[in-house]
Amino acid sequence: MIKENQRLLNQLHVISDGVLVFASMMIAYFIRFYVFSGIEGVPFAYYVYLGLLAVVLCLISYGMAGLYSSYRAIRFHREAARFLCANTLDTMALTSVLFVFRLEHMSRWTLVFFFLVSSFLLLSKRAAMRILLRRYRRMGYNQKHVVLVGDGPMAETYLKRVTADRNLGFQVDGYVSDSLTWKELANLGRYDQLEQVLDSLVPDEVVVAVRAADE
């Protein structure tokens, strides 16, 4: 179920990004020519086409930058930095398109405003999504079920982290080990039973943290 929800969330994430990118170009056009009373050198339709090109370009670059991957365990400032790098490159690419196709009458200031508006809107959306998802995870929804393989120091560190921070949304269903290390966590079986355990539970993630002596 979590995988289906994640897939649907990612699809909505991509679609909303596309809508916001196009809206950013239209808002940038309005700012340039109506707020600052600029002189239009080309018809409005040119900026509509530029907005559609920006949608395609940005969605591809965001995907290549990994912005549609899971960010449960990654801080917002790292996601924001990656987004701003991608958005900067996209704006530079759009500016290059105007030079290559000799569209010198199209406003470069519109692209400056596009960068500012799109950065604000899309980062705000990502921040709002994080707040909303973390709220639901604290309530017990949208949890990723995890099977922990091993019972060493690395496994204990991982278990303490996900237990202490419910915002991450990880639910450890149990651990696989030849030893009964933790009373508070279910032992799902021995190492030689790992395949049967995974077939039975079908977890969303498997975290391997085996001691060196057990390898």
Q: Take residue 21 and report the two structure tokens written for it.
A: 């990118």
Identify which of 105, 112, 111 has the alpha carbon closest to the alpha carbon of residue 43: 105
Q: What φ, ψ does residue 11 adopt, rounded to 5°?
A: -65, -45
Residue 190: which of 206, 175, 178 has the closest Cα? 178
Global pTM exceeds 0.85: no
The residues that bridge with 170 in the sheet, in sequence order, are 144
215 residues of the chain, pLDDT tens digit each? 555 667 788 899 999 999 999 999 999 999 999 999 888 889 999 999 999 999 999 999 999 999 998 777 688 899 999 999 999 999 999 999 999 988 888 999 999 999 999 999 999 999 999 888 888 777 767 778 899 999 888 888 888 888 877 667 788 999 999 888 888 899 999 999 999 999 998 888 899 988 765 55
